[in-house]
A and B are shown apart, each in its own frame.
Chain A
Amino acid sequence: EVQLVESGGGLVQPGRSLRLSCAASGFTFDDYAMHWVRQAPGKGLEWVSGISWNSGSIGYADSVKGRFTISRDNAKNSLYLQMNSLRAEDTALYYCAKDRRGVGATLEGPFDYWGQGTLVTVSS
């Protein structure tokens, strides 16, 4: 059974940093691209970032470019999101999502498995 478990969320002041983690199991992690998608309270889905199976291709939404860094450790079956210079508008539930397509696929989705999310609240 595929499982994605996010952690690392919490309350943080504007301008500070936070690192999210996603522990994956139930599939061959290093065969698939992975993504972070966020959902602000009461709002829709927003893609944040994606990383290919071998970290050779990485993409970011314009809203986080230069502030967030995605990475993965295939030996640990883990995905990460380093979030710096956090802003109030970054407040959201952050989902880790698995790309349905395998090795060699571009970062287009779709996302066939999602975690339950970790809540990030940016407030003073």
Chain B
Amino acid sequence: QSVLTQPPSVSGAPGQRVTISCTGSSSNIGAGYDVHWYQQLPGTAPKLLIYGNSNRPSGVPDRFSGSKSGTSASLAITGLQAEDEADYYCQSYDSSLSGSGDVVFGGGTKLTVL
């Protein structure tokens, strides 16, 4: 069971808007640690999609946006396209798992474009 909780799957039609939630706790997201998002297309390595809660690396379309509030974060995708079909992971840092802290990932969300 992952420290960060994501819905196993979401879906949407082309052109629609979908959101993926990432729920943590007071020892990770709620403690002020940043949330980052990754996109993993089938058979490929993960790609950084959003960093520092809401920042997009160069080359990532502005259809992708991130936000954080309290102990949760969200990834929003607008103008859904077929090539967005992938697994999405949130990542943060947790200060309670061990004395030194740990990087933690959500369990991943499979986005299906209908």
Query: Which residue in chain A gives the minimum CB-CB distance to B50?
Result: A110
Q: Are B102 and A59 in contact (CB under 8 A)?
A: yes
Among B9-17, B40-48, B76-84, the stretch that binds chain A is B40-48
Q: Are B103 and A50 in contact (CB under 8 A)?
A: yes
Tell yes or no: A73 within 8 A of B by CB: no
Q: Which residues of B contact A110 (CB under 8 A)?
A: 34, 36, 48, 51-52, 91
Q: Are B93 and A108 in contact (CB under 8 A)?
A: yes
Q: Are A47 and B105 in contact (CB under 8 A)?
A: yes
Q: How many residues of chain A get a CB closer than 8 Å to chain B's CBs? A: 24
A112's contact among B48, B101, B106, by CB below 8 Å, is which? B48
Q: Which residues of A contact B (CB under 8 A)?
A: 35, 37, 44-47, 50, 59, 61-62, 65, 95, 100, 107-117
- The B interface, classified by DSSP as helix, strand, loop or mixed, is strand
B45's contact among A46, A47, A59, A95, by CB below 8 Å, is which? A95
Q: Identify 20 new A-B residue pairs, CB closer than 8 A, beyond the known A45-B40, A108-B34, A108-B103.
A: A37-B46, A44-B2, A44-B106, A44-B108, A45-B38, A45-B89, A46-B105, A47-B91, A59-B100, A59-B101, A61-B102, A65-B98, A100-B48, A107-B101, A108-B92, A110-B52, A110-B91, A112-B48, A114-B45, A115-B45
Tell yes or no: B57 within 8 A of A by CB: yes
A108 to B100, CA, bound (A): 11
Query: What are 5 residue pairs bridging A and B, where the CB atoms are less than 8 Å apart in the complex?
Result: A35-B103, A45-B91, A47-B91, A47-B102, A108-B92
Tell yes or no: B104 within 8 A of A by CB: yes
